[in-house]
Amino acid sequence: MRFPDVVLRLPDWVAAFLPDPDRAFPSAEDRMDLAVELARLNVEHGTGGPFGAGVFERESGRLLSLGVNLVVPARCSSAHAEIVAIAIAQEVLGHYDLGSTPAPTYELVASTEPCAMCLGAVYWSGVRGLVCGARDEDARAVGFDEGPKPPDWVQSLERRGIAVLQDVLRDRARAVLVQYRDAGGPLYNARQG
């Protein structure tokens, strides 16, 4: 009796989309622009849900990894954009802890605030910052379920040394969620008992 491996692989279109590896993303808006564009292209290509994320060096703005929602194509309910981006970053660095060395430090940039699962993943990842675009209520407004998060989830991250920045390009990030809903995309996490 053997079990299959689980493989998370970015869609083929990502390679053509990727910026010059030397390009830096200096501001939070520059980084969020990439995350939102990933979300938009994931919808446009029909390769998953309307969510994108990236892991960046906080100081230099260099892109370490990225992720898009792969739940449907990867047949994996945990393959949210944040989980994918963190896992690829750790594979690139060869370590399960993105905070294992004092420098550089890393931040996760997510086109929508993390669901309950991804919030937990952020605690364990070793990132030192979380930058969010659309709000939980924006995701809920189009029918996605963010799950039960502690009401003080922002403070829970900051108490652990993870700085949080919200509402970066929120309107653009929200527009991708609306575009997805209006196109009739599956709302796969919407079961409510």
Structure tokens that stand for 60 in this block: 């230099």
| Nearest to a second copy of 41, 116 (CB atom) | 116
Q: Does 90 bind a second copy (CB under 8 A)?
A: yes
| Nearest to a second copy of 43, 84 (CB atom) | 84
Site for a second copy in 124-183 (CB under 8 A): 124-126, 145, 147-150, 153, 156, 159-162
CA atoms within 13 A on the CB side of 144: 24
Please provide residue 189's backbone torsions phi and psi, each rounded to the nearest 5 degrees.
Answer: -105, 25
DSSP-based three-state secondary structure for 120: helix
Site for a second copy in 24-63 (CB under 8 A): none
CA distances from 18 to 10, 49, 51, 171, 173 (A): 12, 19, 16, 23, 19
Does residue 82 have an active-site annotation? yes
Q: How many residues bind a second copy (CB under 8 A)?
A: 67
Distance CA(106)–CA(89), nearest Å, equals 10
Using CB under 8 A as the criterion, which residues of the chain lie in contact with a second copy when the complex forms? 1-10, 14-15, 18-21, 65-66, 71-72, 74-79, 83-84, 86-88, 90-97, 99, 115-121, 123-126, 145, 147-150, 153, 156, 159-162, 188-189, 191-193
Write out the catalytic residue numbers: 82
